[in-house]
Amino acid sequence: MNKKIILLMGICFSLFCIQPAKAIEINETDGVYHIILEQNKKLAKRLKCVIADDLMTNREIHKKADAILTVNGGFFDPQNKKTVSYVTTDGQIVADPIFNENLLADPLLRKNLDKVLNRSEFRVLECFNGYKFEIAQHKSPVDFECQLVNSIQAGPLVFPRLQMEEELFVVKDENGNVIRESASALHKVARTIIGLKDNNIHILIFTDEHPMTLEEVTQYCADLNLDRAMALDGGGSTSMNYLDKIEVVSNPENGQGRMLKSFIILKKK
């Protein structure tokens, strides 16, 4: 896959930094974007996990939402355009994979449906003492003093421990041979990763200039001393828009990138 990276502002050699507000920092080095969103109430209230009624490009949803930042979200079935990942928007479940009949039609997926439905998710929680962010398995309970307001599922968890088999991204036979692989888990591809450190959000965009396996991503997150991190959809779905200044798209057959189902957006207001 070839990635087209459109930079609509200047690049300072190997390091590209934009800080329109103290709460957002974006750095780019060697084809890897590192976005840091500092935890605060205003930012948490404007951070949304959303789905498209049909399928839309990252660019389209970014413009429609009048967003500061938009990145690709969870998994979907390109055949029937239905979700393979849970999404919660403003306290309501808006995407539920249990209603995707293709999951039930696949014998292996049906047999391991609990693993698919319990994949890792990113959460925005409103608690008695303010907002907080969390990465947890979907079935993990929310703290009693908190309410889940936005979430997006994808996976697998990549740090502090890579969970490819536990979340059914890799299936092995009794001899340890890989018999099934999902989301190019074992291959070097572009990736979108979301992580947490001291309740700040860290988003990593590995472009095709710097593709990684999930094992390599795990080491990268360890080097950053993240607390937790998980993968979002990747490969050809890897997408990012920042204002009208940066756009990252994969496989841009029409110049706009892949049509997707779910997204994480940071609204302007």
- pLDDT (tens digit per residue) in 143-183: 999 999 999 999 999 999 999 999 999 999 999 999 999 99
Residue range(s) defining the domain that contains residue 110: 32-267
pLDDT at 1 over 50: no
pLDDT at 3 over 70: no
* Within a domain: 7: no
* Within a domain: 10: no
pLDDT value, residue 39: 86
The pair of structure tokens assigned to 242 is 């920042």
Which range has the worst mean pLDDT, 53-57, 148-152, 252-256, 265-269?
Answer: 252-256
* Within a domain: 9: no
Question: Using omega within 30 degrees of 0 as the cis cutoff, is the peptide bond preceding 160 cis?
Answer: yes
Task: Report how many domains make up the chain.
Answer: 1
pLDDT at 13 over 50: no
Of 164 and 208, which is predicted with more confidence? 164
Q: pLDDT tens-digit profile of 30-51? A: 999 999 999 888 999 999 999 9
Task: Please check whether residue 250 is in contact with residue 31, taking contact to mean a CB–CB distance below 8 angstroms.
Answer: no
* Within a domain: 123: yes
CA distance 241 to 246: 6
pLDDT value, residue 189: 96
Of 2 and 159, which is predicted with more confidence? 159
* Within a domain: 248: yes
Mean pLDDT computed over 235-248: 95
- pLDDT-based confidence at residue 17 (cuts at 50, 70, 90): very low
pLDDT at 208 over 70: yes
Mean pLDDT computed over 203-215: 96
pLDDT at 124 over 70: yes
pLDDT at 56 over 50: yes
> Is this prediction's pTM over 0.75?
yes
* Within a domain: 13: no
Residue corresponding to tokens 């967003």 = 67
pLDDT value, residue 16: 41
pLDDT value, residue 204: 98
* Within a domain: 112: yes
* Within a domain: 222: yes
* 44, 114, 242 from 9: Cα distances, Å: 27, 45, 11
Which range has the worst mean pLDDT, 8-17, 71-80, 103-112?
Answer: 8-17
